[in-house]
Amino acid sequence: MFARILAKRDIVMKKLVLLIVGSFLLTMVSHARVKRVCNAPEVNAEYSSLENALMDCAAGDTIYLEASGTEYGPGDAYGFDPIRITKPITIIGPGYLYKENKVVNYTTGESFIASPLRIYSNNVTLSGLLLNNVEIYGNECTIAKCQILAGSQTAIEVADTVNGCIIRQNFIVGNVQGNGFPQNVNISNNIICGVVSSMERARIERNTFGKFNRFGGVYNLRFCTLIENVMNYDLKKSRTNTCSFLNNFNGDFRPDMTNPDFSLDCNYKIKETSKLYDMASDGDQLGAYGGAMPYVTSGLQDTPVIESYVAANEANQSVGLEVTIKYKMEK
């Protein structure tokens, strides 16, 4: 009996924490409709299916995709059943690698969309999600603070018809490439364990290119501008002779990293003793963790993230249930 009571209390507490987070989020987006999606069976959210929420969305709506131990979407990233986004909306998750980076004491997983995402609308924003593969066909789209794990495959593919999109503050394992030569793509403050290729007039600034398979860097670019990146590939062999290079580092940077042989994002910070630490034009470090909008460890959002909660073992009618919640916000 005691064990059953405790189990029920834990489920109630999970619902309470999610309810509190949801109330925070709803107060922060007041001018557009907000849809809450969670596929955890013990949570009574508005939607349990991302696809159903997308069908009900109107232009300008926001979907909060809650962390879950179960992936979202009907298929794997390199199979069938992609999820198509056809309206200008925003999808926000809580971030990633919380447990590994010791960001929070309480977590139910990540907002993992296992299916490939296809963005056909302009002005779509994805943030704080764990993804496998994204294809962008719309203009002025933003992929920010996401972890994209594609291995040696393509993590983000941008169609040749695209003129303008933002790829910022992501942890990407895989390649970022154009299908043809899309124009005016802004790629900044990412950790990219792979290659950026086939872009025209892109601005590639303050990225750290980790080593995956053979090299990490850039290839086959036209009239692009590369500023204060950290790369480990020989640029003389990378078909970038029409591009401008301003204060980039190209070479073996592993001795300059906090822990280069461990793949967590926080280990790509540059040591304070490294020559790369204050080598940038603004006196900051080169690469993803430098500049005005540095990479944010674990993709923490500018919405509240529960760090810890403590609840009393019992409640009474006069006081109720005492709960102490500690939360954190990043910008």
- Residues pairing with 309 in the sheet: 325
- What's the confidence (pLDDT) of residue 44? 86
- What's the confidence (pLDDT) of residue 152? 78
- What's the confidence (pLDDT) of residue 329? 58
How big is the chain by its Cα radius of gyration, in Å? 21
- What's the confidence (pLDDT) of residue 10? 45
| For the chain, domain boundaries | 72-328
The pairs formed by 219-228 with CB atoms below 8 angstroms and a separation of 24 or more are 219/195, 221/196, 221/197, 222/181, 224/199, 224/200, 227/203, 228/280, 228/281, 228/286, 228/287, 228/290, 228/291
Mean pLDDT by 10 residues, the chain (331 residues): 34 47 48 86 89 95 92 65 95 89 68 94 97 96 96 92 98 94 98 94 94 72 96 77 93 73 77 89 94 93 64 72 67 52
- Tell me the C-alpha distance between 24 and 46, whole Å: 16
- What's the confidence (pLDDT) of residue 197? 95
3-state secondary structure the chain: CHHHHHHHHHHHHHHHHHHHHHHHHHHHCCCCCEEEECCCCCCCCCECCHHHHHHHCCCCCEEEECCECCCECCCCCCCCCCEEECCCCEEECCCCCCCCCCCCCCCCCECEECCCEEECCCCCEEECCEECCEEECCCCEEEECCEEEEEEEEEEEEECCCEEEEEECCEEEEEEEEECCCEEEEEECCEEECEEECCECCEEECCEECCCCCCCEEECCECCEEECCEECCCHHHCCCCCCEEECCEECCCHHHECCCCCCCHHHHCECCCCCCCCCCCCCCCCCCCCCCCCCCHHHCCCCCEEEEEEECCCCECCCECCEEEEEECCC
- What's the confidence (pLDDT) of residue 83? 94
- What's the confidence (pLDDT) of residue 168? 98
- What's the confidence (pLDDT) of residue 57? 96
- What's the confidence (pLDDT) of residue 217? 85
- What's the confidence (pLDDT) of residue 104? 66
- What's the confidence (pLDDT) of residue 103? 73
- What's the confidence (pLDDT) of residue 108? 64
- What's the confidence (pLDDT) of residue 322? 77
- What's the confidence (pLDDT) of residue 18? 47
